[in-house]
Amino acid sequence: MKNRVEEIKLFRKLVGDKYFIVGWVEGMFAEYADLHGLSDSCLDLYDNLDKVRLAFDILLANAKRIIKYQVEAGADCIGIGDAATSQIGSEFFKDFCFDYHKEMVAYTHSLGALVKTHICGNTSDILGFLIESSADIIDIDHMVTNMKEASQTLKSNQVFSGNSDPVGIICDGTKEQIENSVAYCDKITNGRTITSAGCEIPPDTSIENFRIHSNCATTTVLYTF
């Protein structure tokens, strides 16, 4: 965590205000699963609720500290990654994770920074909660099925980011497939989507495909679907 703060300080010193710098913190269930294992953490949602809530309270206090340090170091935005929550369903997310997400978003906003949420996998069932949390940027993985409908409920300050398949499209796709994927996201959300892959792009993706995808963010793409 200390390294991340020092990296942000150095990045800000080197680039000034030229680039949008995003820090990062783990959401409560993702961090709990990192420490305890995903299978045991899921079982704890049934068997050890007091333990889960106590752990989440401790993790939240720590998350707020690292958020504060990163914003003070120069981060314009804090990303909240909570990948494990895509595995627990909407009821558990609502009962155990949603309030913590809202609190982290509100706390980051109170420091003057924006918030970007990222949850890997199919978040179709919890997308409404992510919008309600008031995060400014909401990552959408390629497995999400209701991006069009959800985009109509975005608040005035919110945008999606995504959701091209990082493997099938960005890494292995043709120029036409990449352009069509970006254009489709833009069309169904009425321009409320930052051009991005839905999740991490594989390291063996060609520079050519990277450039094609990057160019889609600044050029008009013809719809051919």
What is the residue range of 20's domain? 2-135
Domain count, the chain: 1
**Within-domain flag for 24:** yes
What is the reported pLDDT for 219? 66
**Within-domain flag for 217:** no
Q: What would the pLDDT profile of 108-130 be if each residue is shown by its tens digit?
A: 999 999 999 999 999 999 999 99
**Within-domain flag for 79:** yes
Answer with the residue of higher pLDDT: 61 or 219. 61
**Within-domain flag for 186:** no
**Within-domain flag for 153:** no
Q: State how far the Cα of 78 lies from the Cα of 58, in Å rounded to an integer.
A: 19
Whole-prediction pTM value?
A: 0.91
CATH number at residue 21: 3.20.20.210
Q: State how far the Cα of 176 lies from the Cα of 169, in Å rounded to an integer.
A: 10
Across the chain, the runs of DSSP E, i.e. the strands, are 22-26, 77-81, 114-118, 137-140, 159-164, 193-197
